[in-house]
Amino acid sequence: MPTIGFIYPDHAAEDDYPLAEQLLGSDLGDVALRVEHIYGTDLHAVPELLDLGSEQRLAEGAALLAKHGPDAVVWACTSGSFVYGWEGAREQVDKLSAAAGVPASSTSFAFVHAARALGIYRVAVAASYPDDVSQLFVEFLNTGGIEVVSMGHADIHTAAEVGDLSAEDVVKLALSYDHPAAEAVLVPDTAMRTLAEINTIETALGKPVLTANQVTVWEGLRLTGETKLVRSLGALFRRRSE
């Protein structure tokens, strides 16, 4: 298995990544998911998010990951990527790829790629962000050809607060913002611990759920051509990508 590097902002739910490594490794053997942190603000506000996802900060993250020799790098921050809009987020990952010297992506693109891989084009969004930031995610998805049939937001202003949500809170958030017309529910914040709850949520919903840390790990694997089938990480990991 290749090594995948993740640039994670500050601290909140980064323990989802060693959990993913453990879950993947139990089925696949050795898998290397390496996380390095960059620091700015954890405020869910547009100016701060633009700073957090800046070329300079991501280059710092790429430099920190270099010691791991990653085969691909993912910017593990949804709001710090979609806040740039589709073209800005594309430029962001192109510059990250140049800095890292390997293929790169971000969590925002991971959501679009994951939805397409499942043949899903109509979704509900269960966001933790304030409304203005949540609407930017809706716009990003729409540009990527994913229709948002409903969007609910919890109006949580910092990543630290999101990281403190209990497992029960996470499940409740995802279930509360489902919609009958949605083919899946998207939970977009990498500050939220979700990996251990995905199968519970999917069973309750009767449809796929795509969460930020889940799709970020999947995207890293996709970049290296190593998307795998496992049972423990939801419908996304139970379908082989083309």
- Domain ranges in the chain are 3-238
The tens digit of pLDDT for each residue in 31-69 reads 789 999 998 877 788 989 999 999 999 999 999 999 999
> For the whole model, what pTM was predicted?
0.94
Task: Write the pLDDT tens digit of every residue in 91-126.
Answer: 999 999 999 999 999 999 999 999 999 999 999 999
Q: 3-class secondary structure for the chain?
A: CCEEEEEEECCCCCCHHHHHHHHHHHHHCCCEEEEEEECCCCECCHHHHHHHCCHHHHHHHHHHHHHHCCCEEEECCCHHHHCCHHHHHHHHHHHHHHHHCCCEEEHHHHHHHHHHHCCCCEEEEEECCCHHHHHHHHHHHHHCCCEEEEEEECCCCEHHHHHCCCHHHHHHHHHHCCCCCCCEEEECCCCCCCHHHHHHHHHHHCCCEEEHHHHHHHHHHHHCCCCCCCCCCCHHHHCCCC
Give me the CATH topology for the region 3-238. Answer: Rossmann fold (3.40.50)
Q: Report the mean per-residue pLDDT for the chain.
A: 91
